[in-house]
Amino acid sequence: MRAVILFIAITATTARAQPVAPWTYDIEPRIGVLESKSKLDASLLGGFELGLELPHDGLLGLEASFTHPHHTGSVMDDNVTTSYTLEQSQILLAITVNYRFFDSTHAIVPHVGLGPLVQVLLNTETTTAAPGELTANEVQLGAEAGAGVDYRVGPGWLAANIQFVYSRPLSACAILPIYIPVCTAHSAPLTGGDDVYNIAITGGYRVPF
Amino acid sequence: MHRIALCALVASCTSWSGPHPLLSSVTPSSGCDAQASVALILTGTGFSVEVLSALDDPTAVVPSVRLIDPSANATTFASAPDSSGDTLMIAVQGLGPATYDVEVVDPNADGSANATDPATTSTLAAALTIDPPPTAVSVMPPAATASSATTLTIAGSAFLPTMTATLAATPPVAATAVTVAADGKSATATFDLTGTALGSYAITVDNRDGCTSTLASAFEAQ
């Protein structure tokens, strides 16, 4: 894992000053609440961030999180009336570059960050009208922007974060501008929305090692 | 994992799976829909109901049923599924007389968003016969003495072996011992006219498949 983080750090900072050895890593287990712009209910979110200290008060974060929101609704049709439940597992992997406004000698360190992400959405739908499960899985690309505050407690920092997540299907369209007509078709017929907008508020404890 | 690795090269990374239909029987296997709709019950497994756009504008999608005639012309009907997932109901009307293949189509089998779960159908060949409606054109003899059993020959077309005949007296007189000719163009029927008032009556033939034919003033009780 250290080798991977090292490689990422070197790649990301080629044009900048090299990190100063010894490397300083930290890990932040975190838990929080995720709210989606869609009809999905708010849900608990768990995850962690592996961090590599960068020069100039920077931090390269490798973040992973999991949440499992759901939505229950009903629909009336000419031929059938049914209730349905859509459960969605969201697995998120992100690499973020963070800037800390103060160095780690301060007790309170606000920070902001930004980076790309990959999100896997595993959808399962059941209805009361018929047995069986319908599943639809999607892989999406996107970006995450976040901000937070670290507060020194003990050997580490209590961390409070707010993150904005946007993703859309991983496809040829995903790398084209949104306004390209060919990219307007749904690729997620089960959920009805290609784009994901989430806000996550988390708390954790960042421990250096 | 291969899919995740490769999907960036294609149009979409959406995968999809769900129940697939398997049709095992159609009841009734024949009917006449020229005068009224015929209710069909399709049994099998994997008849699913899907709610699409569940997080946006939810729409329930049910299996569709295609009736395919010998010339491969298909007529599509929306089904009404029950909650067991093994029964579909459709009402058909206006089909031409023919023998039809019956095909159940997975609700998501339109190919529009089903990259990894190709269109799935289940077909029963020659599962439904649509009969033409009967037509009664004459009765011989056209008159007979009341208060006795009388055997009449009814001429017409499209009579089925299941046919019944009724004299529209008060009360109605149902024929006994109805025998339909092999070509379906005539039938003999015995009516017990005991107690039947004198007069002219219509005769109705009923193929018992959804269609009837009534010949007005077909018979006179003397």
Residues of A in Cβ contact (< 8 Å) with B20: none
Angle formed at CA A17 by CA A13 and CA A22, multiple of 5 degrees: 95
pLDDT of A187 above 60 = no
List the single residue in B with minimal CA-CA distance to A139: B13
Which residues share a beta bridge with B25?
B43
pLDDT for position A173: 54
With beta carbons less than 8 A apart as the criterion, state whether B47 and B63 touch. Answer: yes
Count CB pairs under 8 A between chains A and B. Answer: 150
* Tens-place pLDDT, residues A77-131: 777 889 999 999 999 999 999 999 998 788 999 999 999 999 999 999 999 988 8
- Which pTM does this prediction carry? 0.75
The yes-or-no verdict on residue B4 having pLDDT over 60 is no
Which residue of chain A has the CA closest to B12? Answer: A171
**Nearest CB to B55 within list A127, A132, A191:** A191
Considering only CB atoms, B13 lies closest to which of A79, A86, A169, namely A169
Closest CA relative to residue A25, chosen from A46, A45, A8, A41: A8
- The reply to whether residue A71 touches residue B54, judged by beta carbons under 8 angstroms, is yes
The CATH number of the domain holding residue A18 is 2.40.160.20
For B49-65, write each residue's pLDDT tens digit.
Answer: 888 888 888 988 888 89
Q: Given the DSSP bridges, would you call strands B30-31 and B121-130 parallel, antiparallel or unpaired?
A: parallel
- Please report how many Cα atoms fall inside a 13 Å half-sphere around the Cα of residue B198, on the Cβ side: 2
A79, A132, A171 ranked by CB distance to B12: nearest:
A171
Q: Testing the interface with A: which of B45, B51, B77, B112 to mutate, by most A Cβ within 10 A?
A: B51
Mean pLDDT, chain A, rounded, equals: 83
Could you tell me the residue range of the domain that residue A152 belongs to? Answer: 2-72+80-208
Cβ-Cβ contacts under 8 Å for A16 (sequence gap 6 or more)? A55, A56
| Ordered domains of chain B (ranges, CATH) | 19-130 (2.60.40), 135-221 (2.60.40.10)
Of the partner residues A39, A139, A186, the one whose CB lies closest to the CB of residue B4: A139
Q: Using alpha carbons, select from B26, B15, B16 the residue that is nearest to residue B122.
A: B26
**Total structural domains in chain A?**
1
Q: So what's the pLDDT on residue B9?
A: 42
For A148-172, give one letter per residue: b (16+ CB within 10 A) or e.
bebeeeeebbebbbebebbbbbbbb
Residue with the bigger pLDDT between A16 and B30: it is: B30
